[in-house]
Structure 1
Amino acid sequence: MGSCKDQEEQQAKCVWIQGPILVGAGPSGLAVSACLSKHGIPSVILEKSDCIASLWQQRTYERLKLHLPKQFCELPLLGFPENFPKYPTKRQFVSYLESYASHFSIKPRFNQTVQSAEFDSGSGFWRVRTQDSKYFSRWLIVATGENAEPVIPEIVGMEKFHGPVVHTSGYKSGSDFRNHKVLVVGCGNSGMEVSLDLCRHNAIPYMVVRNTVHVLPREMFGFSTFAIAMALLKWLPLRLVDKILLLVANFTLGNTEQLGLRRPKTGPIELKNATGKTPVLDVGALSQIKSGKIKVMEGVKEITRNGGRFMDGQEKEFDSIILATGYKSNVPTWLKGCDFFTNDGMPKIPFPNGWKGENGLYTVGFTRRGLLGTASDADKIAKDIADQWRTKKECKNSYNSHIILLKKS
């Protein structure tokens, strides 16, 4: 067990990790590492990029703000600075994460792309291989999350389009699209906010609504919609809370179906819990739709060289296409010999029990409940590993004491 046997293994540097190996230095990985440190347990984070929270730092648009109040987005053991606004900006959130990592002395190993991770039943260790090293540990914590890779849809004719096609992961600001007619594919929070940002830079967005979508006001009567929902759920059944939210939404926003935004039959919270599909929290896009500045289109049938054809028979010309089509997990591409995850890279066991697998495998950031779910799972994982760590230490101390007594006798 103490050497790398085959030639390929000999070329890679072998590193034995005393505590857990975490894959991913986003908020989830940082949260677990901090919770482990509270119990005195060392850990190593392997991160493929050159910074923490690379999704936030490198693949988000400039005007992004947290959709939920800051108290619902805090990581364990350290809150946001008091002077931060109710809805921190992207830059403020990144600065919070950097302060968090510094506070808990978290130093990920950057530029370490995990190519494979597999449990060796013979040794009882996880073997995690990167491009230049091979790491071994009793515990593996998957912290790459639900949003590891952009989803690029297959649309007929996309390769023919003459202009730029960019996923929102590569979108920074509407200033790059000034005076452009832009096709925005997707109407979730990203699609709505990008369309709004385009409007503010004198672009003309056409937003494709392929499916049903719940649109809720970000605040109701001066309070966060999310906070109201969380409070009501403590006393009322979920479906009744959904009805209350939709009643208030219809009162404050009007009938969104008249704008081409059909609501799902399932309520917003129930749908979020079942599928992970987040309701849109409106920050101004709806008023631009009502005014006609954001134009809502049905599904795209085909992309042409100069534009697109739509399901309702319309044809339009565009200068650019932005894909607001979301992200997906990448776990199936590197986690081997394990059936804990579905083909889509999500734990098969639903929340709240999907944080622990077999043989020292753990997951964090896959709850479909945002940073609240991350904080909950990070605490559970750290406590579970701490119990094993303590037992292992006690057994070692007992063994050493026994040997000393034998020597004395």
Structure 2
Amino acid sequence: MSTNRSTNGSAGTSTGTAPVVIVGGGQAGLATAHTVQALGMGRPVVLEAADRPAGSWPRYYDGLTLFSPARRSALPGAPFPGDPDGYPARDEVVAYLADYASRLDADIRTGHRVERVSATGSGGFEAVTVDGEVFAASLVIAATGGFSRPHRPELPGLDAFSGTVLHSAEYRRPEPFAGRRVVIVGGGNSAVQIAIELAAHARVTLATRHPLRFMAQRVLGRDIHLWLHRTGLDTAGWARPLLTGGKGTPVMDTGTYRDTIAKGNPDRRPMFTRLDGDQVVWSDQTRERVDVVLLATGYRPGVEYLDGLGALDAGGRPRHDGGVSTTHSGLGYVGLEWQRSFASATLRGVAADARHVLNRLRRQGRPGARRPARAGRPA
């Protein structure tokens, strides 16, 4: 059984050592903890900043549903309950992760936000929390994933826009936007799902740099995620341009999304030129008053606790090869977007990545040794 503890340490408190310290107790961290034990690597310590081990899921919008079916969304050792061909909602995922954590034989410490990770002279690492607790380990896995730091792009006039600006991370439900004019920036799965939900209450436009790209949710009666896995397209590096077209992640659709947008609410328009006061200036130079600009512009990896270690590039992104640090032996990542596959940042992808990373780390030499920096694949 897992041990969940809240922060109660004093500054500088040393709490001993662990074979593996996992930073982050969401889907990536929990899958990694399970894999650590399955590989016989001992009992890991999981450090989670929030008050429960559920990652970013409790903070997502109320109407969120998974883009993969339950049978393809389970973590190792625990089938997802309910209809195996259904698409679980946010609260179902939160409950599933909480139950999964309770069944793990891992030392899960909630309320433990990691402030920094540093290399030690003995060849390992120390993870230090904001309250000064110190956790030493031979291996560290950064599993805070790709959804903890909302990305706000630099758009002309955005900072001076007199209406409401919010990121999709701050959006919860459509009712507060009733009767308002809303422009959503972005054309991914969440952007489209939020736009269609909002359109029942408001007038909504999706502003994108490229036309929306839809991918059939089901092919020959089976979910597309099954075919991606069986064909190997999930992990084939050459397939990434095929899946994204270099123009963003395709929107998974049974046909409902495409048909709804074709009817005009929400509608899709080319990206606006700028914002001016409370107006949006469209690409044809027409102007329109807008109440809300909602940024569905994705996230960046929340790994700022590695800043002082020298493991990140100039943009704050991990230097890694398939989730294994290219700067430090013994350091790995799980849960980054496109870490190894189309599914890397999802429930269905984190377990395979965790096993891949841990197996490679076990084969490395002395943990903690600084490697010469090279051009690793950033997240």
Match of 1:230 in 2: 229
Write the distance in 2 (CA, Å) between the matches of 1:288 and 1:196. 8
Q: Distance in 1 between matches of 2:16 and 2:101?
A: 23
> Closer, same or farther in 2 for the Cα pair 1:107/1:124, shift >3 Å?
closer
Tell me which amino acid in the other structure corresponds to 1:158: L
The superposition leaves residues 226-280 of structure 1 with CA deviations (integer Å, 9 ceiling, x where unpaired) of: 323433448xx998x99xxxxxxxxxxxxxxxxxxxxxxx422675xxx9x4211
Structure 1 letter corresponding to 2:210: N
AA aligned to 2:243 is: P
**Separation (CA, whole Å) in 1 of partners of 2:68 and 2:11:** 47
1:76 positional shift: 1.4
1:217-366 correspondence runs (5 A) = 217-233=216-232, 266-268=241-243, 277-282=248-253, 284-332=256-304, 334-339=306-311, 343-349=315-321, 351=322, 354-355=323-324, 358-366=328-336
For the residue of structure 1 that corresponds to 2:109, the secondary structure is coil
**Does residue 351 of structure 2 align to residue 375 of structure 1?**
yes
Instruction: Give me the whole-angstrom Cα distance separating, in 1, the residues matched to 2:107 and 2:310.
Output: 28
| CA distance in 2: counterparts of 1:159 and 1:280, whole angstroms | 29
Aligned CA distance change for structure 1 residues 312 and 270 (closer, same or farther; 3 Å): closer
Higher-strand-fraction structure: 2
Answer yes or no: is the 8 Å Cα contact 1:356–1:381 preserved in 2. Answer: no
Q: Secondary structure at the match of 1:20?
A: strand
State how far apart, in whole Å, the 1-side matches of 2:156 and 2:314 are: 28
Distance in 2 of aligned mates of 1:45 and 1:16: 14
Aligned partners of 1:217 and 1:225 also within 8 Å: yes
CA distance in 2, matches of 1:340, 1:306: 38
Distance (whole Å) between structure 2 residues aligned to residue 143 and residue 335 of structure 1: 15
Contact 1:30 1:106 in 2 (8 A): no
Contact 1:101 1:107 in 2 (8 A): no
Indicate the residue corresponding to 2:91 in structure 1.
91
How many aligned positions are there? 343
Match of 2:369 in 1: none
1:168 paired to 2:168: yes
Distance 2:55 2:271 in 1: 31
| Greater percentage in helix | 1
SS at match of 2:320: coil
Rg larger in 1 or in 2?
1
- C-alpha distance in 2, partners of 1:278/1:96? 26
TM-score norm. by structure 2 comes to 0.81
Offset, 1:144: 1.1
Question: How far 1:22 moved relative to its partner?
Answer: 0.8
Q: Do 2:273 and 2:282's aligned partners in 1 also have CA atoms closer than 8 Å?
A: yes
**How far, CA to CA, are the matches of 1:387 and 1:238 in structure 2?**
23
Conserved in 1, the CA contact under 8 Å of 2:28 and 2:335? yes
Give the match for residue 49 of structure 1: 50
Give how far 1:181 is off: 1.0
After superposition, the Cα gap between the structure-2 partners of 1:215 and 1:330, relative to the gap in structure 1 and judged at 3 Å, is same
Question: How high is the TM-score relative to the length of structure 1?
Answer: 0.75
3-state SS of paired residue (2:18): coil
Letter in 2 for 1:77: G
Letter in 1 for 2:52: C
Q: Please tell me whether the aligned partners of residues 32 and 381 of structure 1 are also in contact (alpha carbons under 8 angstroms).
A: no
C-alpha contact 2:27 2:55 (8 A) present in aligned 1: no
- Aligned equivalent of 1:134: 134
Q: What residue in structure 2 maps to residue 157 of structure 1?
A: 157
Gaps of 5+ in 2: 1-9, 365-379
Q: Is 290-299 or 99-108 further displaced after alignment?
A: 99-108
